[in-house]
Amino acid sequence: MQAMAMKKFDLEKNKALKLTQSMKQSNSERFGKGTAETPANRREQRKLDQAKGLVPFACKLDGELVAALKERAAAHPEGMTGVLDELLRPVLVKAD
C-alpha cells in the first residue's frame, strides 16, 4: 500500500503548528527573561524617586533648548533631573 501524499495546505498547516510549538517552548532572552526585568526596575526607580520627593513633570520645549539640556545632562551626575534642578532653583528663589 502506498502512503497518500499530503496536500500543500496540510503541509503548510503542519509547518505552522511545529513553528508555534517551538516558539511556545523556547526560553529565549527576548521572550521572557529580558522583559520581566524592565518593569521591576522601573517600579524600583519610581519608589526611589518618590522617596526623594521627586514628581514627574512634563512640558514642551524648543528643540535646540532640549539638545542643550541633554548635553549638560550627559555630563551631570544626576542627569536631566539634576540639571533642571540646578538651573531652575536659583531662578525661582530670585522670583520670590
Looking at the domain assignment, is residue 24 inside a domain?
no
pLDDT digits (tens, 9 = 90+) for 43-65: 888 888 899 898 888 899 999 99
Specify if 8 maps to a domain. Answer: no
Does the structure show a pLDDT above 90 at 33?
no
Instruction: Indicate whether 45 belongs to any domain.
Output: yes
Q: Is residue 82 part of a domain?
A: yes
Long-range (24+ apart) CB contacts under 8 A made by 79-88 are 81/54
Whether 40 is in a domain gets the answer yes
Q: Is the pTM of this model over 0.85?
A: no
The residues near 82 (Cβ < 8 Å, ≥ 6 apart) are: 73, 76
- Res 24 pLDDT > 80: no
Q: Answer whether 63's CB lies under 8 Å from 70's CB.
A: no
Is there a domain that residue 39 lies in?
yes
Q: How far apart are CA 17 and CA 19, in angstroms?
A: 5
Q: Which of these, 21, 22, 18, 2, lies nearest to 10 by C-alpha position?
A: 18
Q: What is the pLDDT of residue 92?
A: 92
| Number of domain units in the chain | 1
